Amino acid sequence: MTLTAADDPTIVTSSDGVGRLSQVEDVELLIRGGTVIDGSGGPRRAGTVAVSAGRLRMLAEDPGSLRAARTVDATGLVVAPGFIDLHSHSGLMVLADPRHEPKLRQGVTTEVIGVDGNAYAPFASRADLLAFVRLNAGLDGIPELAYDWGSVASYLSRFDRRVSVNLCLLVGNSALRIDALGWDDVPADRSALDRMRGLLRESMEEGAFGVSSGLDYAPGAFATTDELAELTEEAARLGGIYHTHVRYALGDRFLDPFREAVEIGRRGQGPVHLTHFYHRATYPGPPEQMLGLVDDARASGQDVTFDSYPYEWASTRMLIMLPPWTQAGGPEPTMARLADRAVRDRLRQEIGVRGRSYAGADPWDDLRMGYFGRPENAPWEGRTLGDYMRQTGLDAVDAICDLLLAEDLRVNQVTPGPWTGGLAPFLKHPVAMIGTDSTFVGRKPSPRTYGSFPRILGQFVRDMRLMPLEEAVRKMTAAPAARLGLRQRGLLRDGMVADVVLFDPSTVRATATYEEPRQFPEGIPYVLVNGEFVVDGGVHTGATPGVALRRGQA
């Protein structure tokens, strides 16, 4: 949306999207003296930014006669659109902690939830919703909430003006499968496929932006390629995307998982977004082979994009260490299997839990545990599974199963993720965007939760000169807005919603580390969401102007 003189006679809009006030008016805020990087990738420029009724006024010159309720001196600061995070596990935790400081302090004003196939709407029964929350607690948390929603519409209403950040929901394929087929590993017949497609269509009509899959997470992991292609086709009919955590155990465990994702998009004739796309040092080929899959797909006419995060540490629920068949049927059957000695023996025979070997305890020293609820397990918070195995004398299978049983499945883990040397090719790729994959549970989450965006701006842009600052901002703003179909955010343009971040390009940096991950960044003193200050002078204001964005209305 762009306001013109026809909408507001005080504005004259030029061809470059910059407005000039034609008469004196009052505005709520003026941001003067800063360097504007508008999100388009175009060159930075001097400019004055006004905010009126939650909308932007981009001024070509500084009108000294303009009256403002407040003026911010942005000398030395970059003024940019608010950052958009394409992957966040905040769908429950932001309701429990509406200030959402780990993300707002990074400059994030909008984030995507319902990722990895793990969305918390739609659910036809509260029992299924509560069971899914329980199964996934080690990833998304299990905060004390009413859990009194069912449809996407009712879930989205829980966020409006009650949280500090805007949210975009993807429909997880696990919720669709539970509705149509239950919790078991059974094939989807025509009737089930039609039911899933219909529920997805209804959910998107209520505001969802597409469908997500997490093909390491049951029950969504039981979906076939054909099933996912049908869901992609349905999402694409309404302008949505297929956002995928791929099936990492497939085939060669290197390129084949991503080949399946591209094939799903080809069959479904829909846009594919590969989330947390990165290279591991243990992969048998270089990063360029993975990126080549994206380039080849795009060269053939497919719409394929991806996001990456700029830290070496991943995080998810510990339950992911066990294959999906152990979780068929939902939480209670899962608990029964974990206690079954025959099941444990079978697990020992299968090739690694998530590909690991059992040659001693050392391979488990890089798995840090967290989010314990029982007092007797509290001493293990932030310590490694290897430590636990050495102290208890248990092997990996017994240790994992015992801990999950004791904690009702809620244990979180932090493990090695992207290879440091392989990050650069992904971050600078033309279609790369940023998804923090942030988790909010445990005393020591991955540092990506607190530091991803400022780490790119500081380490990768300023220090390493990996890409121009304008390009980095584009990857964080206009590119993800276009990917999602957000028409009123992602750019600094007249009439756009005033989601704005001000940062100091000379000092911005992440302070979050593996050892001390819960540390806010430096150099981001101001963040506005929907025209309201949420971070002011480096301090959260307590404001909750965030809303759930609805497809086609944002």
For the whole model, what pTM was predicted? Answer: 0.94
Q: Taking all residues of the chain, what is their mean pLDDT, rounded to a whole number?
A: 93
Query: What is the CA angle 106-437-90, rounded to 5?
Result: 75
> What digits encode the pLDDT tens for the residues 393-430?
999 999 999 999 999 999 999 999 999 889 999 999 99
Q: Would the pLDDT of 25 be above 80?
A: no
The reported pLDDT for the residue numbered 15 is 41
Residues 141 and 441 sit within 8 Å (Cβ to Cβ)? yes
The reported pLDDT for the residue numbered 432 is 98
Q: What average pLDDT score do residues 246-254 get? A: 97
Task: With cut-offs at 50, 70 and 90, classify the pLDDT of residue 66.
Answer: confident
The reported pLDDT for the residue numbered 17 is 53
CB atoms within 10 A of CB 383: 15
| Whole-number Å distance between alpha carbons of 338 and 406 | 11
Domains and CATH numbers, the chain: 83-316+417-488 (3.20.20.140), 323-414 (no CATH)
Q: Both tokens of residue 408?
A: 């009702």
> What digits encode the pLDDT tens for the residues 275-300?
999 999 999 999 999 999 999 999 99
Q: Would the pLDDT of 385 be above 90?
A: yes
The reported pLDDT for the residue numbered 26 is 85
| Lowest-confidence pick of 32-36, 349-353, 380-384, 514-518 | 349-353
Q: Both tokens of residue 265?
A: 């998009």
The reported pLDDT for the residue numbered 131 is 98
Residues with Cβ within 8 Å of 341's Cβ and at least 6 positions away in sequence, in order, are: none
The reported pLDDT for the residue numbered 353 is 45
Percent of the chain with pLDDT over 70: 93
The reported pLDDT for the residue numbered 11 is 36
Q: Is the bond preceding 43 in cis, omega lying within 30 degrees of 0?
A: no
Q: What average pLDDT score do residues 466-472 get? A: 98
Task: With cut-offs at 50, 70 and 90, classify the pLDDT of residue 67.
Answer: confident
Higher-pLDDT residue of 352, 379:
379
Q: What average pLDDT score do residues 314-331 get? A: 97
The reported pLDDT for the residue numbered 221 is 98
The reported pLDDT for the residue numbered 362 is 66
> What digits encode the pLDDT tens for the residues 518-551?
999 999 999 999 999 999 999 999 999 999 999 9
Q: What average pLDDT score do residues 376-380 get? A: 97
The reported pLDDT for the residue numbered 60 is 74
Q: Would the pLDDT of 128 be above 60?
A: yes
Q: Would the pLDDT of 441 be above 60?
A: yes
Q: Would the pLDDT of 14 be above 60?
A: no
Judging by beta carbons within 10 Å of its beta carbon (0-12, 13-18, 19+), is residue 6 exposed, middle or buried?
exposed
The reported pLDDT for the residue numbered 18 is 52
Task: With cut-offs at 50, 70 and 90, classify the pLDDT of residue 363.
Answer: confident
Residues 166 and 486 sit within 8 Å (Cβ to Cβ)? no
The reported pLDDT for the residue numbered 386 is 95
